[in-house]
Structure formats: structure tokens, C-alpha cells
Chains A and B, each alone.
Chain A
Amino acid sequence: MSLTLFAESPSIRTFLGKRAIASAISLVGLVILVFFLSRLTGDPTALYLPVDASQESREQFREIHGLNDPLPVQFARYMGDLLRLDFGMSIRRAEPALDSVLRGFKWTLQLALITMSLVTVMAIVVGSLAAFRVGGVFDRIATFCSLIAASAPDFWIAIVAIVVFSVNLGWVPTSGTGTVWHWILPVSVLFIRPFGLILQVVRGSMITALSSAYVKTARAKGVLDRPIIFVHALRNALLPVITVIGDQAAGLLNGAVIVETIFGFPGVGKVMIDAILQRDFAVVLAAVMVTAFAIFLMNLLIDILYAVLDPRIRY
């Protein structure tokens, strides 16, 4: 079914091409914006060299990192390197900027994948069951909890969770990575808000689907309740849901900056915030581009998922 999707439609290539071009244009805009804005934060030389460093060593530092040239020249050089997929060197770490970013991105990707998988499964199951008996006890509890979850400030929960579960109870480590235990708090904290939000979308969408005419047909055919919910209604109800899932996942891929910082989690969010504070421009730009590219890929995935789920959608 999903394979014929591509075989049957030659326009899918046109679609992908158009999307790629549109994304490339916005990516260039993003690079321009970030390149010049980050330069506004000041001269890295002041940060990296000791206060009493001589004028010559300062000049030398600027020369090495190409900070002496006028901004347009710097920019042209940067874009030229970029075309060869050279993202420049990290000043701080003296390694290719892309390496620093990808190292962080690997962690973020894992965190986002684990969190969003849990969120998706839980929100769909709980939301569907809540929608099946609207106004029932289960529905009321689920709606109440989802409202709280959707409006909870995650940085506050993160800090309280560290105080309660790490400091007072000593069940899990306060920060860092290394064992499974290190993942529990970051995942749980990041889980809460998307869960509340997506649960509400699933519930609303499922209520519509369950009151539809084709569900009536399924009942008249003798289909039992569980397949009615999870086979007949769910697939129809998923379209608005995956849009919100994509939106939330994009938020996590961007680096859950605050939560990663609080938990000392070495994700791309932390890499980015450190790079900004350290005026490590090449790393900031590489991080922005890697996350933007990831989000582009994910949006594409969502568009394809749309067409897979709903045969009426063809590109």
C-alpha cells in the first residue's frame, strides 16, 4: 500500500524536489540571520585569551580564526566552505564544529525518540479510551490530568524532580549520562507536556471519528468495540494527531535547552547554549543547521505518513 504510493505517482518526485528547494531557501535565510546575529554578541578574543594577553597575541588569535576580515568577507568565506560541507572549526574544542554538534545531536535524538515514542503510545491509548466513553470516569480523570500536564512548566518540574527524587530520595542520579537511571528524569520531565497536549488532540479527534457513519457501519457488521476504536476510528483520527506529534518532536530535536541544561545532559541544546556563551560561532551555526535539517526531514516524514494513512491524500 505504502509502496504503491510512490510507484503510482510520478508527482511524488516533483513534490520532494519542491520541498527540498523551499527548505534550502529558508535554510540560507536562517544561516544569514544566525551568522550576523551571533557576531553581535561580541569578539571571542576577549573570552579566550587571558586579560593581560598582549596586543600581538590578540591580533594573532584574530588572524588564525579569520576574525580580522570585514564581516561580508567572513560571510562569503563561510558560505564557500559550507558548499564543500565544511562547517568550520570550533574555537573552544579545536575540532570540526560539525563533530561537536553531531556528538550532542546523537544524545538529543535518542532522548527525543524515546520520549516521543512513549508519548505517542501513551497518548493514543489513553486518549482513544477516554474518547470511547465521553464523560465517563476514565475520560474525566484523563482530561483533568492532561490539562495539568499540558500547562506544567517543565523547568520547574525538572528542578523539583531533582530535589525530590535525586537529592531527598536518592533514587536516580541528579545529572549526566552513563546508566539507564540517568535517562529516567529527563525523559519523564520532557514527557509531561507533549503527553498532555497530544492526549487532548487524540481525544478530540477520536470523538469525531467514533461518531462517524463508518463506525456505525462497523457496528452493524458486528465488529467488536476494541477493533472499532483501534482499527476503524484510530487511523482516521490520526491525521491531526501526527501534525501535533511532529510539532512537539521538533521542539525536542531543537534541543530541550532548559531541561538539558538542568540535567547536565550533553545534547545539542546544551552544545548550542555553551557555544553561544563561548562565542563559538561555527558551532552555533552548525547546530542551527543540523537541527533545521532534522526538522525538514521530519516534516517530510509527516507528509509521507499522511499519504500512507489516508489514501485520499496524494502528492
Chain B
Amino acid sequence: MTDHLLDVQSLSVEFHTAGGTVKAVQDVSWYLDRGEVLAILGESGSGKSVSAAAVMDLIDMPPGRISSGRILFEGRDLLQLSQAGRRAVNGRKIAMIFQDPLSHLNPVYTAGWQIEETLVIHGTRRREARAQTLDLLQRVGIPDPAASAAKYPHQFSGGQRQRLMIAMALALRPDILIADEPTTALDVTVQAQILSLLQDLQRETGMGMLLITHDLGVVAEIAARVVVMNSGRIVEHGSALDIYRNPSHPYTRDLIAAAPGKGDLPSNTDRRADALLDVQGLSKSFGQFEAVRNVTFDVMAGECVAIVGESGSGKSTLAKAILRLDEPSAGKAFYKGRDLFSLSDKELFNIRRQIQMVFQDPTQSLNPRMSIYELISEAWVIHKEILPRAQWHERVQQLLEQVGLSADHAQRYPHQFSGGQRQRIAIARALALEPELIVCDEAVSALDVQVQAQVIALLSDLRKKLDLAYIFIAHDLPVVRDFADRVIVMQGGSIVEQGSVRDIFENPQQSYTQNLLAASLDPDPEIQAARRAARSL
């Protein structure tokens, strides 16, 4: 018999829904020992979080049902314990942190109260808990613990909130920490800080850590062993390095191949002479707050200009101001020589069709009550001059095929498609207006790696065929490296640096850019190990 700290054996979980039974995970087995980091790697819908939810008794039953398997913790089967027994283990022996700490912290209680609660419900006295909470806040790097304890979650930044979650989870020095996509919603530099905090704490306490992620870079940075999941099953299991170097399963091979940021950098080419868009001194304020400050750049016809920066750097505000979705406060933006900001509403209407936008979340940007045909052809309802009604049907089918969907998808509705397909629909909708410039605001950020690679390939292909120019807003540097011609780096509303992809990635001048690049994770465990070693010197 094995004596692993946590041993999940042949676990199968199914969900009974109106649409039938969904087998979320089937026959999944993995183990975790003290002092090690195991990663479960998988894309959305792979079932990577389900077995961890089963460990924590977080699966709602019904509709969920654990149809087989055992979860042995210190030799006891957790599934045989009473609910009270499970809750006694949770938080004290096994703790968990989640993606999106804002929604996972209770908005109406103070940070201090929520950390104290972990201690108090497992038997610490309130007064002692209060003192320990301050120590914990200090340990996870929250400034001014006493004042911070009295603050509410919405008063912290994203990274600090994740630190609060970590303090809460580690309050009782559990044997195991389960981290479900702990850094996914965070900026790269913050991600690097949180990962190194987790590593430090893990070394300090000797706990076992289970990391659930979709990100090969995170695996490379932190995990020793990896379990790769696809469609509810484990397809591969081994050391992080082995799996990266010699993936045996075709799914793993595809996943690694799809990881962005590995191709050769394009050499610097001459830019075309004619600027399609020429932005000069653009500023945008909200009351006292200057979200975008005196930004100047240009985009040539057929060029892809990426705007990168961390959240709050003003990159999306900039895009909205150019399109006048939010009126800019100052500056000019010449599109083919005409200043967008001084156009009348009617002139703007005519020119707007040439500049289209693709948003981050196609679930929200596509009206769920309109069929795909209606969504795409609406463009021609508004801009009647583009296409006579008789040709709408044919053109919708053409557009769908152009973005890699099939013509008969036209009668369906957005919810019947996957995230990647929906983003293709959003692109087809943008193309319907025959634009020359498309603004992609984090258009591939929410997609799985493989889907992301496909959508990027589609965008590149369209660019060549239709001579499109892109403004590509992103926080993910490897994607930018693969796709863009030029890069603009923004911080706090201003441009800190701009140049060709090659210049920015190989020879960044500003320390902010250098930090940003250094914080971005490479999927190769050896490269990450080397970087870690370099950092600790």
C-alpha cells in the first residue's frame, strides 16, 4: 500500500444536467507528497479542477456525483467522512486558493476578519487569532498589517488580494495547499511575485502543493511533476522537464507546440510611408484621473501594432478613445489624413466602418438573442451602401468560411459555439464592414493556448489576404512576439517605449520593459530554472 500524503485513486465524477450526464473526470489517479509541487495541466473543460474540488468537498451534490474512487489523506478515505469531518480537514489540513481573488473574498467583511475566521473556526481564540492575523499579513507582504486588516477586499489590488487569500489559506499551516489558477487573472510581474511567494512559503512549511493551471510557463516555473489532463482523463504523467522535452501523448505534443513566443523574431523591415492612423498627443481623463497621457504613435497600412502594458496602464482606454467610444480629452487622431476627433457625428459614422473592434469576451460582446446571420448582417442594416440585401446570405456564408466556420452555422446562436468559435464570429462580424483597421482588445486572452494559436493564425492570414492593419492590445508578451510588427509599451497612461518587435524583445531600453520581459514565463522548465538561479544570485 502506498503512503502518500494525498492519494486520489480512480476518481470518477459525473454531473447530472438537463442535457444528460456529463462525465467530468473519469478514472483519475494522482498523488501528492509532502514538500513537492504537483501541477495538473489542462485547458478549460478538461476537468483539471474537478478532482481538487472533490478533495475539498466543493462539488455540489446533486447535480454532481462521485461515481467511483477514493481520496486517501494520511491513509483515511476523505469520501467516507461526515460533512463535519470534511470541514474539519478543510482549512486546517488542506487549504485552497482560487483564481480571481476578488470574487472569492467576501466583499462585506474585512480582510482581517476573514483571515481570523480560518483560525477561529478551527479552535484558536479570537484574541490570539487577531495577533496571528497580523503576523500572517506581514509574512505574505501586505504593507501596514494593522491598517490593512481593517480594510475590505475591494480596497486592495489584485495581487494583494491573492496575498490575502494565501494568508487565509496558510493560517493554520496546512499539510497541503491547492492553488487553482492562482495567477491567471494577474499581471505578469505580479504573477512572478505571487509564484515566488508560494515557493518561499512551500519551502518554509514543507507542505505539499497542488497547482492547477493551463499555463506551461507556470508549470515550468514552479512544478516538479505534471499531470496532463484532457477531456476528463489523465493523458500523461511525469516530471515537468520530461514532459516538456519528450511528450509521449499527441495531445501534450500539440499543447507544447501551440505555446506562443518561440518562433524566430522577424527582422526589422522598412515601414511603409503612408500612415493609416496617426495619433498625436492623445489624452483621456476621468475627472481628476488621467487614464491616458499625451500618447503619440502611428499605424501604417497593413501593419500590426501591439500595445502592451499591465492592467491600469490605459491601453484599453486608449483604444476606446481612438474609436470615440469614449470621447478623448485632448489630442488628434488622423485616419487617412482626417482628424477623427473633429469629425461630425455623420462623418464619423461613415468612417467608423473602416475601423472595427474585436473585444476580449465574445460571450458578452455578441448579443445572445441574435442568430449568427443576424449578428453579421446587422452591419449592412446600419451601413446600407456596402451590400444589397439580396447578397447578404451569400456573403455571410463566405465570411463564416473565411474565419474557419461552416456556412450552415449562420442560423445558430452564440451559446451554441465554443469560446474560440465565438471569437471567430466576432471577427467575421468585424470583417463584414470591410474595415482597414481592426482593434483587438485582448481578443485572444480568454482563449485556451491551442485555440489562441488558431485565432492568431486566422488573424495573420486575414491580414495578408485583406491587407488589414491591427492595433493589438495584449498583456501576454509571447503572443505579441509572434504576431506584431511593432510594440508600444504603456505604463500609467503613458508610452514608456516603442519600437519594432525585434528591438523591444531583444534590446529593451527602459527598465519597465526589461522587468516586464523578465517576468514573463517560458514554457521550458530548464530556462525557468536558469532564470530562477540568476534571480537568487
Contact = CB atoms under 8 A, between A and B. Distances in A.
Contact of B106 (A219, A220, A224, A232): A232
A222 B121 contact: yes
Interface string B48-84: 0000000011100000000000000000000000011
Interface string A35-78: 00000000000000000000000000000000000000000000
Nearest to B155: A311
B104 A217 contact: yes
B106 A218 contact: yes
Contacts of B25: none
Given A221-B90, A222-B87, A216 B117 contact: no
A219 B98 contact: no
A235 B104 contact: no
B117 A221 contact: yes
B108 interface: yes
A6 interface: no
A214 interface: yes
A223 interface: yes
B154 interface: yes
A157 interface: no
Contacts, number: 76
Contacts of A172: none
Interface in A208-257: 212-214, 216-225, 227, 232, 235-236
Nearest to B119: A221
A84 interface: no
Nearest to B105: A214
Interface string A18-45: 0000000000000000000000000000
B152 A311 contact: yes
Nearest to B62: A135
A132 to B, nearest CB: 12
A222 B152 contact: no
B107 interface: yes
B434 interface: no
A5 interface: no
Interface residues of A, number: 21
B104 A213 contact: yes
B96 A224 contact: no
A220 B121 contact: no
A223 B117 contact: yes
Interface string B84-109: 10011111100110101001111111
Given A216-B58, A221-B168, A312 B107 contact: yes
A214 B165 CA distance: 11
B56 A220 contact: yes
Nearest to A236: B108
Interface in B409-456: none
User: Could you say which of A222, A227, A236 has the most chain B C-beta atoms within 10 Å of its C-beta?
Assistant: A222
Contact of A223 (B56, B87, B95, B154): B87
A16 B56 CA distance: 47
Given A222-B90, A224-B87, A216 B121 contact: no
A95 interface: no
A240 to B, nearest CB: 14
Given A214-B103, A311-B152, A312-B152, A219 B108 contact: no
B118 interface: yes
A224 B104 contact: no
A62 to B, nearest CB: 61
Contacts of B117: 221, 223
Interface residues of B, number: 32
Nearest to A212: B103
Contacts of B107: 214, 236, 310-312
Contacts of A223: 87, 91, 117, 121
B122 interface: yes
B135 to A, nearest CB: 18
A220 B108 contact: no
A222 B98 contact: no
Contacts of A212: 103
Given A235-B108, A236-B108, A312-B152, A220 B103 contact: no
A221 B92 CA distance: 8
Nearest to A238: B108
A222 B58 contact: no
Contacts of A312: 107, 152, 154
Contacts of B58: 216, 219-220
A225 B104 CA distance: 17
A237 to B, nearest CB: 10
B89 A222 contact: yes
B84 A219 contact: no
A80 B58 CA distance: 67
A244 to B, nearest CB: 19
A222 B104 contact: no
A219 B154 contact: no
A224 B100 CA distance: 23
Nearest to A308: B108
A309 interface: yes
A123 B108 CA distance: 22
A310 B107 CA distance: 8
A210 to B, nearest CB: 10
A214 B154 contact: no
B103 to A, nearest CB: 4
Contacts of A216: 58, 98, 104
B103 A222 contact: no
Interface in B140-154: 152, 154
A235 B106 CA distance: 10
Contacts of A224: 84, 87, 121
A220 B152 contact: no
A170 to B, nearest CB: 50
Nearest to B53: A216
B105 A222 contact: no
Nearest to A234: B108
A304 to B, nearest CB: 15
A213 B169 CA distance: 15
B462 to A, nearest CB: 37
Contacts of B108: 235-236, 309-311
15 contacts: A214-B104, A217-B105, A219-B58, A219-B87, A220-B58, A220-B95, A220-B96, A221-B91, A221-B95, A221-B117, A221-B168, A223-B87, A223-B91, A223-B117, A309-B108
Given A220-B58, A310-B107, 10 more contacts: A213-B98, A217-B104, A217-B165, A219-B56, A219-B87, A221-B95, A221-B121, A221-B168, A222-B89, A222-B92
Q: Which 7 pairs between the two chains have the least Cβ-Cβ distance?
A: A222-B91, A222-B90, A213-B103, A221-B91, A214-B106, A220-B96, A311-B152
